[in-house]
Chains A and B, each alone.
Chain A
């Protein structure tokens, strides 16, 4: 059988990337998900449920329990009851549980990736190649620490778990953030109550199934779903430690709530990172770095390179390249393997982005957006550049948490440092130059916890991550990420 092939007559190539959607068949969703407490999914005492949707279609995917203070208390009790069991395990055995989780995540990676993109709106390319593999790698990395803790902090005797950790995570990297929180806590011998973000609970609940499959002792990991009130209840609950990733605003509220309680606290908060391009930079790779820095995960990244500082001699060249590159970004179906920019995570977030972009236009910055068709349903925002931005504009100061880049210029190294550091945040920074000594000089002077030189938005379980100033305190990842989950004889009060 031969099909007739229509041969394009025009000179313009019919070059289209396939809509190559990942099949969602791999994901089997229940209609309803209860709270994961004591190793079981249980009905919420609150009696309340809320829908969780796909931001790319606005379709409801499932209903999820809303935990109230009584539910949170039940989860904390379960974690408290499990604590002696978990810490009494031989560390090598504890390690093996965490290894099991890592392996099971790898085994079910595609399912997790599809669900992450469905529930959160991020491109499958990213959930498949970044979020899920990194989440598994985190468990794998920290698993190995469980029976080696005494080697981690020289001169400190008898590392012990802190106890019960309350962990509150954001919606931008739902499973990965769960891994960042759970892996070190479990390896160090803590038990936990995890609260996923309101809009993206599903992969955490799938992770709960993985915990069951790994035969993790009941109560070691508990997962309570809900919104801000559930998080507040967890902060106020009798836990020994709070670990929070989210906005600086909420971070400050948590800090105030825990004041005087003696609860240990780590905060990983917002950012407004400078990505600094010098005139001698490898420009084409810098373009990729800038694009990746701000459009990765729709810009829903606390360490996003949202302020581009360009040395004046290459401003025109770089801007031209950026605009060209922006035209090639594919915005659309998160489940399409060719999609570069997916859906905005929620209507609320979309409105916030729209409001800030409007302020940029009103304050006189020049906006540039590529022509691209956006789907009719769902939450979408065009990749956006602003030029003519000054440090005083809101779009240069406030975290937009969306696909919006503010471009500023500078003349000298000192000016770049001054502008980069001129923010209450201090999470990350980028430097693009071929001059090694300048990289080290800049890396030293930038007040940021992560400095990417000639690259951006790289993450690894062995690499500590966390901020200076109002971007929070404490580190996640690496040996440094263990410290918040351990206590020592004679240690700090």
Chain B
């Protein structure tokens, strides 16, 4: 046994590509599923959420304007970086009580790869040229909705989050995600992976903290265009949807499928947060 003292990681928020502590100075204790203390984790405030939305909005033009090929490459890069840190993810999943941590990490990595491949195919599958009855060329393309809020599921702290994140950002959306309250550490590690995976700063922002405290602010935020409510507790769902009405947010809940199941990944999870844009132009000499 050496005398060397371990250097502990401080689990912080991920906002605009940086890792700040909560502006509120708050943190909360995270334990293993058996109740052993694991870490202090930043407890984001509504002001942190506001900063995260600003960061997500700022990078939206660049990310949505990037080529689909580039976005696909970057998502694939995330998978590569996760593979390199899989031991860490497995440990964190084990602490969170996962029955088969390795399987969870593998599925998460594979999910990034699966969605990465959709980047430059989605428009070919869900886009259309429309044979209008007149001398016009008319086509419809999927475009990202904008800034999308994600409330990640409380269980499946890694695969659940990746399954929500990947389809949202692959089309060009940027996001503010609220991590699993109980097991936020895989999300914090994922943030560290994203920060080193060529994902532009601000495309993904991850907040740890109290879900019930943050969700109303995310749902009512007027500069958030969509909301993935998969992780919103049932008792908060109606209020969340009501708050989302204020700026006509698109609200989506993932299918009730086992996240390991193939049915849990679908291009229609991507289109949940895309807008169909139809363009007309006359055809004339």
Contact = CB atoms under 8 A, between A and B. Distances in A.
| B and A form one assembly | yes
B270 to A, nearest CB: 12
A449 interface: yes
B218 to A, nearest CB: 15
A480 B276 contact: yes
A493 B229 CA distance: 11
A248 interface: yes
B278 A491 contact: no
A473 B253 contact: no
A424 B237 contact: no
A463 B282 contact: no
A424 B247 contact: yes
Interface stretch (A178-186, A229-237, A255-263): A255-263
A469 B242 CA distance: 16
A449 B275 CA distance: 7
Contact of B277 (A451, A473, A493): A451
For chain A, which range describes its interface: under 10, 10 to 19, 20 to 34, or 35 or more residues?
Answer: 35 or more
Given A259-B245, A448-B277, A454-B281, A492 B138 contact: no
B241 A260 contact: yes
Given A154-B125, A460-B138, A493-B256, A450 B280 contact: yes
B254 interface: yes
Contact of B254 (A155, A252, A460, A492): A492
Contacts of B272: 492
Contacts of B279: 443, 450-453
A460 B140 contact: no
A155 B268 CA distance: 9
User: What is the interface of chain B mostly: helix, strand, loop, or mixed?
Assistant: mixed
Contacts of A87: none
Contacts of A478: 128, 130, 140, 278
Given A450-B280, A460-B138, A464-B278, A480 B245 contact: no
B225 interface: yes
Given A460-B138, A492-B253, A450 B237 contact: no
B5 interface: no
B245 A452 contact: no
A455 B267 CA distance: 33
A68 B139 CA distance: 43
B255 interface: yes
A123 interface: no
Interface in B124-174: 125, 128, 130-134, 136, 138, 140, 143, 145-146
B255 A493 contact: yes
B150 to A, nearest CB: 15
A453 B250 contact: no
The CB with the most chain A CB atoms within 10 A, among B125, B241, B268, B277, is that of B277
Contact of A479 (B128, B132, B263): B128
Interface in B258-285: 263, 266-269, 272, 275-282
Nearest to A154: B125
Contact of B282 (A258, A443, A455, A491): A455
A242 to B, nearest CB: 13
A215 B131 CA distance: 31
A189 interface: no
B132 A460 contact: yes
A100 B257 CA distance: 41
Given A449-B277, A463-B132, A490-B257, A480 B238 contact: no
B140 to A, nearest CB: 5
A34 interface: no
Interface of A: 137, 153-156, 248, 251-253, 255-256, 258-261, 267, 269, 424, 439, 443-444, 447-455, 458, 460, 462-466, 468-473, 475, 478-480, 490-493
Interface of B: 65, 125, 128, 130-134, 136, 138, 140, 143, 145-146, 225, 237-242, 244-248, 250, 252-257, 263, 266-269, 272, 275-282
Query: What 7 A-B pairs have minimum CB-CB distances, sorted nearest first?
Result: A260-B238, A259-B241, A255-B245, A460-B132, A259-B242, A462-B130, A493-B253
6 contacts: A154-B125, A261-B238, A452-B279, A470-B247, A470-B248, A492-B255
